[in-house]
Structure 1
């Protein structure tokens, strides 16, 4: 991650890189055009999960901690879709383009809620809907209202910087 100057402001030259694990340490990884949580092909552990790119959304109030998340070197970004109900999907859009030019619909923007060592990611377009890891192994992540208990999923994620 580097910084450069743009009209007198410091801006990111590249996205920050993290690996995500859910509350029970399932790694987040990409397979068949989906984000899954569980044991990635090749072994278990955060080092085996997908590299998740993250940039702030500079066009939303910074006090809300708005972020844009991507995978595959930031070439595919997490989206809530445009339907009446949110549907988590990966869309072919460059994370740095969104960083520099904004996300007018907010479908790529998540509000990062930190709590100790974990974070929750709430959809900016669909308030009250969170990135959610399923209770089972190797199942797709989704967007969900805050689950009342862990049998329905996990919305707390740990982030580890990529090495």
Structure 2
């Protein structure tokens, strides 16, 4: 078994892939009874949380009364991509909307109505919703599987849409705190 560096991710992959029969038997999996996405609080390194505004995912410092607006990020593993790269299918609203990079020449982060558990069972279709998560001990980065070199990012300014950048480490924030809820 190839391991994932983050112990929580090892648990996620074990629960979804090893107990489901692994990659070899994955073609016969038609449902995942009792399995649910894991849910995480995600904050950028400026502590901005994700929330929905006009059906767009944005980041802001949510205080007191606004804290309930925070969107938890739901994840399931992508069962066909290289496990050691920690491929995660990301969504919000309890896993009923996926974070998609689209299908154009240039990626554009968008929300699509799609059940994460359904995406788990699809192969090629799931790739545009999949991000390779890297973990450096305190923060995490999310690279788009369908667009290598493009990373999930927030703007340094509050209330700006979550996006993708090919220039990590420049103006956009690409490091996130990622905590299971």
Bucket of the pairwise TM-score, normalised by the shorter protein = 0.7 to 0.9
User: Partners in 2 of 1:110 and 1:17 — Cα distance?
Assistant: 15
Point out 4+ residue stretches in structure 1 off by more than 2 angstroms. Answer: 3-9, 39-44, 100-105, 146-149
Would you say how many aligned residue pairs link Structure 1 and Structure 2?
A: 156
Q: What TM-score do you get using the length of structure 1 for normalisation?
A: 0.86
Contact kept, 8 Å, 1:20 with 1:49, in 2: the verdict is no
Higher strand share: 1
Higher helix share: 2
Secondary structure of the residue aligned to 1:101 is coil
Deviation of 1:122 after TM superposition, in Å, equals 0.3
Could you say what the CA RMSD is over the residues aligned between the two structures, in angstroms?
A: 2.3
Deviates more, 1:23-32 or 1:121-130: 23-32
Contact kept, 8 Å, 2:37 with 2:117, in 1: the verdict is yes
In structure 1, runs of 5+ residues without a counterpart are: none
Match of 2:35 among 9, 13, 17: 13
Secondary structure of the residue aligned to 1:43 is helix
Deviation of 1:40 after TM superposition, in Å, equals 3.9
In structure 2, runs of 5+ residues without a counterpart are: 1-11, 26-31
User: Partners in 2 of 1:20 and 1:57 — Cα distance?
Assistant: 19
Q: What TM-score do you get using the length of structure 2 for normalisation?
A: 0.78
